[in-house]
C-alpha cells in the first residue's frame, strides 16, 4: 500500500525506526510519543473522542453519524486544530502516518465487509422498474454535472492525468448514494415503511452496485496512465474474483448455515475463517490492482443474509464502526485542509456544484416520478434522499487523492460537498414530504363500544420474549368466539439506536409485508413464533406480526399510528417493571415507562397496561379448555372503571373464567343519596321550571349505575360471578379491603384519572407510578401480595384528551348512553356518528 504516502512524502524523507514500537516508560527518560504504539493509541483515543463529541452535538439536529465522523476528522486535521504546528507535529507527526493509515484501511475493509453482508442482492434482482429508473436517473444527471465541472475545475492543472479518469472520479463521487446511511435516515424520519422509503432503498442499492463497478473502472484507469493491456487484465481478473465469490464462497457459506441447527451459535472456526477471508480477499484485489476495499465488499455480498449475517454484524459492528472506522474519517480529515480553498471564485463554483448536483438528482427523480405518476413532493423527496452521501464517496475521494487524480484543493472541495449534501437531506425531506396522516374515523375505539358480535381488534406491544406468555393467556381469557373473533396485531418494539444495522431495518420492514421472509432478528423470532403457534392452536384468533423500529423517544407515535391504521379498540402495553424471582418488582428499562406515559396520553383508543406477574402461575401456555382464572374487578366509578367492567364482561362468557366484582361505595355518599331523595320528593312539585344542572360527577355516576344495573340484570343467575359492594370511608379502608382479596389470578382496574374519589384519597401521595392510577399502582407495588397480574385500563375519551385529567365532555356522555342497551342499535349508530 506504499502509494498511499507518496503525497505526504514528496518533499520530506521520513525515517522509521522499526524497533521503536513500545517505550521503556517515562521514568527511563523516554518520550512515549516518539514510539509508534503509544502515539497510535493517543491518536485513536482522540479520534474516537472527537467523533463522539460531534455525534452528541448533532443528535438533536437528527444528522446521520457519518457527518459527525467526517467533522471529527476535519477538526483534528490541518483545517482546525492542525493549524497549530505544535499540535500537528506532536500528535499527528508524519512518521505516524503509515501506522494510522494502515489501521484505518483495516477498519475500512471490515466495515465494507459489513456493508456487503447487510446488502441483500435479491432486493436488486426484485427491484421494480420504478426503482431502476430512479436509480439511473439519479446517477446520470449528477454524472453529467460532474463531467461538465471537471473541465472548469481542472483548468489550473498542468497534469498528465487523463481527463477521462478525472471525469469518472468526479462523477462517481457526485452520483453515489450511501445505502447504510440512507437506511438510518429513513428510519429516523419514519419513512421506512412507506412506499417512498422502499423505493429509495432499492434505488440506493442499485446505485451502490453501479458505483462499485464504476469505481473499479476508475481505479483501473488511474493506476495505468495509458489504457493498455494491463488495465484489461485488471478488469478480467476483477470479474474472475467476483465469479469466485459468487460460485465458491456463497455456496460454502450457505452450507455452513445449513449445517448449523437453527438457533444454535455458529462455530468459532467458521466465524474466524470468514473473518480471515475478508483479509485474504482484500489482499487479492489489492494485488490484482483494484482497491482492497472492493474485495472485502464483494466477499461480504457473498455471505447470505440471515442468521449468519446477523451473527457477523453483531460480532463486528461495535468494534469496527465505533473504533476503527472513525480512524478512516480522521485520515481523510488529516488530508483535508479547507484553508487551501482560496478565493471567492472557487467557493462560488463549489456552491454551484453542490446546487447543480443536488438538483440534478432531484430533477431526475421528479421526471421519473411524472413518468410513473408519483406526486411532485414524493419525487422531490426521493431525489433528496438519493443525495445521501457517506462512506463510499469518501473512499472514492481518498483513492482519487492517493492516485493523484485530485490535488489538495479539489479534495477539500469534494469533502465539503459531501458534508453539505448529506446534512441537508434530513431537514429538507422533513419539510417537503409529510407522509399523509389521514385521520381515520372509526367508532369502535373502546371495549365498551365494541359490539359483542363483531371482531374485537387488539394491538399487543411486546418488548422482549418475557412479555409473551402472559399476553397470550390474557388474549385467550378475552374469549375469542365465532361470533366475536379476536384480531391481534403483535407489534414488536425494537429500539433504533446508533448501531441498529441497516439490514435489520430493511428486513423488518419487508417482514410486515411478506411474513414468509426469513426472519433476520433472533429476538423478533422469539417474540413472533409463540404468537403464531397460538394462532394455529386456538380458534377464532388471527395474529398479524409487525415490527416498529424507532428511537424510544418517538416510539409511541409508531404504536398510535399502527393502532389507528388497523382500527383497534384496545392497545395492551407491558408495564415497565417485571417481577424478579423473589417476587420484587424491578424496572427493566426506564424508557419503557416514558413510552407507556406517551401512549396513555396520545392513544387513539383504549389502553391497557399489563403488570405481568405470570397468569396461571407459570409461563406455560394453556390450551383453550384448560383456562381457569379468577378475575377480580375493582369498581370505583368513572369511565376507566366502566371500561374495566366491560372487559371483564367480555371475559365472563368464557367458561373457565370466574369473575368477582368488588364495588366500593363511600359511606358519606350513601347518606347523601337518602337526603337527596327526600328533598326531591318535596321540590318536585313547585320547581319544575328550574333546569336541574347536572355536574359532570353526577353524569358519571348515572352512567356507572346504568352499566352496573345492566350487568347485574344479565348476570344475575350466573354462578361464576360474585358481586360485592363494600362501604368504605377513606383510602386506608380501601387498601385494607383490597388486601383481603386473595386467590385471584388477574385484577382488572380502571386507571381512574378523571375521578377524584374520597375512597382513594391519600393513596396518590405514595404512588411510585402515578401513570397507572392510584389503585393500579397499589396492586403493582412490590409489597402487595404478589401473585396476581394486573391490567390497568384507560377508556378512550375523544380527541383532545389530556394525560392529566380526562374530562369527558357532556355530549360524549349523552352519546354513550344508548350503547348500554344494545337493542336500540339504530339509535346507537346515529348517536355515535360524531364521536
As a whole number of angstroms, the distance between CA 157 and CA 170 comes to: 15
The 3-state DSSP composition of the chain as helix, strand, coil percent (nearest 5) reads: 60, 10, 30
As a whole number of angstroms, the distance between CA 630 and CA 608 comes to: 19
Residue pair 651/631 in contact (Cβ under 8 Å)? The answer is yes
Q: What is the pLDDT of residue 832?
A: 34
Residue pair 672/645 in contact (Cβ under 8 Å)? The answer is no
As a whole number of angstroms, the distance between CA 560 and CA 603 comes to: 5
Task: Give start and end residues of each alpha helix (H) in 176-267.
Answer: 179-188, 195-223, 229-244, 250-259
All residue ranges of the chain with pLDDT < 70 are: 1-11, 14-19, 123-124, 127, 153-162, 193, 223-228, 262-263, 435-444, 451, 497-523, 616-627, 669-695, 742, 753-756, 758, 761-762, 764-765, 783-786, 798-835
3-state secondary structure of 531: helix
pLDDT digits (tens, 9 = 90+) for 502-541: 666 665 554 444 333 333 455 677 788 888 888 888 888 8
Angstrom distances, CA of residue 506 to CA of 195, 765, 803? 13, 46, 34
Phi then psi for residue 789, to 5 deg, are -75, 160
Q: What is the pLDDT of residue 808?
A: 35
Angstrom distances, CA of residue 43 to CA of 25, 379, 591? 18, 44, 35
Q: What residues have CB less than 8 Å from 121, skipping those under 6 apart?
A: 301
Residue pair 550/557 in contact (Cβ under 8 Å)? The answer is yes
Q: What residues have CB less than 8 Å from 14, skipping those under 6 apart?
A: 94, 95, 97
Residue pair 584/784 in contact (Cβ under 8 Å)? The answer is no
Q: What is the pLDDT of residue 500?
A: 61
Angstrom distances, CA of residue 227 to CA of 230, 238, 327, 638, 706? 8, 16, 34, 83, 91
Q: What is the pLDDT of residue 683?
A: 53
Q: What is the pLDDT of residue 170?
A: 80
Which H helix or E strand runs over 474?
helix 468-477
| Residues 367/373/376/378 CA torsion (nearest 10 deg) | -100
As a whole number of angstroms, the distance between CA 52 and CA 65 comes to: 9
As a whole number of angstroms, the distance between CA 481 and CA 473 comes to: 15
pLDDT digits (tens, 9 = 90+) for 424-450: 888 888 888 876 655 666 666 777 777
- Interhelix angle 391-402/325-335, rounded to 10 degrees, is 50
Q: Which of 328, 275, 324 is nearest to 299 (CA)?
A: 275
Which H helix or E strand runs over 536?
helix 522-537
- Identify the bridge partners of residue 460 per DSSP, sorted by sequence position: 490, 572
Cβ-count burial 321-332 (b if 16+ within 10 Å, e if not)? bebbbbbbbbbb
As a whole number of angstroms, the distance between CA 711 and CA 397 comes to: 74
Specify whether the backbone of 627 is left (phi greater than 0), alpha (psi in -120 to 50) or beta.
beta
As a whole number of angstroms, the distance between CA 610 and CA 746 comes to: 10
3-state secondary structure of 665: strand
Residue pair 797/806 in contact (Cβ under 8 Å)? The answer is yes
As a whole number of angstroms, the distance between CA 783 and CA 803 comes to: 27
CB count within 10 Å of CB 645 equals 25
Task: Enter the pTM of the model.
Answer: 0.70
Amino acid at each position: 500500500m506504499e502509494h498511499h504516502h507518496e503525497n505526504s512524502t514528496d518533499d520530506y524523507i521520513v525515517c522509521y525506526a522499526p524497533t521503536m514500537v513500545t517505550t521503556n516508560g517515562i521514568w527511563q527518560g523516554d518520550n512515549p510519543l516518539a514510539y509508534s504504539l503509544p502515539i497510535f493509541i493517543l491518536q485513536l483515543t482522540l479520534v474516537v473522542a472527537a467523533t463522539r463529541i460531534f455525534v452528541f452535538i448533532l443528535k438533536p439536529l437528527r444528522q446521520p453519524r457519518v457527518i459527525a465522523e467526517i467533522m471529527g476528522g476535519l477538526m483534528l486535521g490541518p483545517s482546525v486544530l492542525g493549524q497549530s504546528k505544535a499540535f500537528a507535529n506532536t500528535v499527528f507527526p508524519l512518521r505516524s502516518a503509515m501506522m494510522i493509515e494502515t489501521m484505518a484501511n483495516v477498519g475500512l475493509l471490515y466495515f465494507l465487509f459489513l456493508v456487503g453482508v447487510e446488502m441483500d442482492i435479491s432486493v436488486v434482482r426484485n427491484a421494480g422498474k420504478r426503482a431502476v429508473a430512479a436509480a439511473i436517473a439519479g446517477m446520470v444527471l449528477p454524472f453529467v454535472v460532474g463531467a461538465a465541472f471537471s473541465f472548469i475545475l481542472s483548468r489550473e492543472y498542468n497534469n498528465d492525468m487523463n481527463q477521462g479518469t478525472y471525469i469518472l472520479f468526479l462523477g462517481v463521487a457526485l452520483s453515489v448514494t450511501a445505502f447504510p446511511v440512507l437506511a438510518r435516515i429513513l428510519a429516523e424520519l419514519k419513512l421506512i415503511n412507506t412506499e417512498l422509503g422502499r423505493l429509495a432503498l432499492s434505488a440506493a442499492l442499485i446505485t451502490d452496485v453501479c458505483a462499485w463497478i464504476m469505481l473499479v473502472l476508475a481505479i483501473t484507469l488511474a493506476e495505468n496512465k495509458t489504457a493498455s493491456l494491463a488495465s484489461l487484465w485488471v478488469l478480467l481478473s476483477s470479474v474472475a474474483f467476483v465469479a469466485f465469490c459468487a460460485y465458491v464462497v456463497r455456496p460454502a457459506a450457505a452450507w455452513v448455515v445449513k449445517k448449523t441447527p437453527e438457533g444454535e451459535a455458529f462455530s468459532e472456526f467458521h466465524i474466524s475463517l470468514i473473518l480471515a477471508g475478508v483479509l485474504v480477499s482484500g489482499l487479492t484485489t489489492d494485488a490484482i490492482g483494484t482497491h482492497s476495499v472492493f474485495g472485502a465488499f464483494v466477499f461480504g455480498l457473498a455471505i447470505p443474509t440471515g442468521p449468519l449475517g446477523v451473527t457477523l454484524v453483531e460480532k463486528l459492528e461495535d468494534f469496527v464502526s465505533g473504533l476503527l472506522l472513525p480512524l478512516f474519517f480522521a485520515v481523510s480529515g488529516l488530508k483535508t485542509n479547507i484553508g487551501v480553498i482560496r478565493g471567492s471564485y472557487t467557493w462560488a463554483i463549489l456552491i454551484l456544484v453542490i446546487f447543480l448536483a443536488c438538483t440534478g438528482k432531484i430533477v431526475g427523480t421528479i421526471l421519473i416520478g411524472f413518468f410513473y405518476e408519483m406526486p411532485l413532493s414524493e419525487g422531490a423527496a426521493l431525489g433528496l434522499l438519493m443525495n445521501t452521501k457517506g462512506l463510499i464517496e469518501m473512499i472514492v475521494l481518498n483513492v482519487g487523492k492517493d492516485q493523484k487524480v485530485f490535488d489538495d484543493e479539489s479534495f477539500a472541495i469534494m469533502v465539503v460537498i459531501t458534508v453539505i449534501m448529506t446534512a441537508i437531506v434530513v431537514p429538507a425531506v422533513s419539510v417537503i414530504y409529510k407522509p399523509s396522516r389521514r385521520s381515520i374515523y372509526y367508532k369502535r375505539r373502546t371495549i365498551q363500544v365494541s359490539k359483542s358480535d363483531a371482531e374485537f381488534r387488539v394491538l399487543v406491544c411486546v418488548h422482549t420474549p418475557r412479555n409473551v406468555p402472559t399476553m397470550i393467556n390474557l388474549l385467550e381469557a378475552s374469549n375469542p368466539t365465532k361470533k366475536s373473533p379476536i384480531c391481534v396485531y403483535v407489534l414488536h418494539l425494537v429500539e433504533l439506536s446508533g448501531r441498529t444495522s441497516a439490514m435489520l431495518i430493511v428486513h423488518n420492514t419487508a417482514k410486515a409485508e411478506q411474513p414468509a421472509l426469513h426472519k433476520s432478528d433472533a429476538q423478533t423470532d422469539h417474540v413472533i413464533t409463540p404468537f403464531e403457534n397460538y394462532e394455529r392452536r386456538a380458534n377464532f384468533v388471527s395474529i398479524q406480526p409487525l415490527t416498529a423500529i424507532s428511537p424510544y423517544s418517538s416510539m409511541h407515535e409508531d404504536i398510535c399510528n399502527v393502532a389507528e391504521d388497523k382500527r383497534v379498540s384496545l392497545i395492551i402495553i407491558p408495564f415497565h417493571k417485571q417481577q424478579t424471582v423473589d417476587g420484587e418488582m424491578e424496572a427493566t428499562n426506564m424508557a419503557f415507562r416514558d413510552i407507556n406515559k406517551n401512549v396513555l396520553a396520545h392513544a387513539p383508543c383504549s389502553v391497557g397496561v399489563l403488570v405481568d406477574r405470570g397468569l396461571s402461575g407459570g409461563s406455560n401456555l394453556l390450551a383453550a379448555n384448560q383456562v381457569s382464572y379468577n378475575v377480580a374487578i375493582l369498581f370505583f366509578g368513572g369511565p376507566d372503571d366502566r371500561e374495566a367492567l366491560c372487559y371483564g364482561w367480555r371475559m365472563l362468557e368464557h367458561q373457565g373464567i370466574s369473575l368477582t366484582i368488588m364495588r366500593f361505595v363511600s359511606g358519606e355518599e350513601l347518606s347523601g343519596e337518602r337526603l337527596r331523595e327526600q328533598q326531591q320528593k318535596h321540590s318536585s312539585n313547585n320547581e319544575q321550571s328550574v333546569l336541574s344542572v347536572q355536574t359532570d360527577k353526577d353524569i358519571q355516576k348515572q352512567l356507572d349505575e346504568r352499566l352496573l344495573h345492566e350487568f347485574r340484570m344479565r348476570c344475575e343467575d350466573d354462578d361464576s360471578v360474585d358481586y360485592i359492594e363494600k362501604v368504605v370511608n377513606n383510602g386506608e379502608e380501601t387498601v385494607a379491603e383490597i388486601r383481603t382479596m386473595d386467590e385471584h389470578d388477574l385484577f382488572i382496574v380502571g386507571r381512574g384519572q378523571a375521578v377524584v374519589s374520597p375512597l382513594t384519597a391519600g393513596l396518590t401521595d405514595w404512588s411510585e407510578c402515578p401513570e397507572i392510577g392510584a389503585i393500579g399502582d397499589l396492586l403493582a407495588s412490590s409489597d402487595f401480595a404478589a401473585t396476581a397480574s394486573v391490567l390497568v385500563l384507560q377508556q378512550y375519551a375523544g380527541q383532545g384528551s389530556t394525560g392529566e385529567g380526562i374530562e369527558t365532555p357532556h355530549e360524549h356522555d349523552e352519546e354513550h348512553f344508548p350503547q348500554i342497551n344494545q337493542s336500540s342499535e339504530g339509535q346507537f349508530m346515529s348517536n355515535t356518528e360524531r364521536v
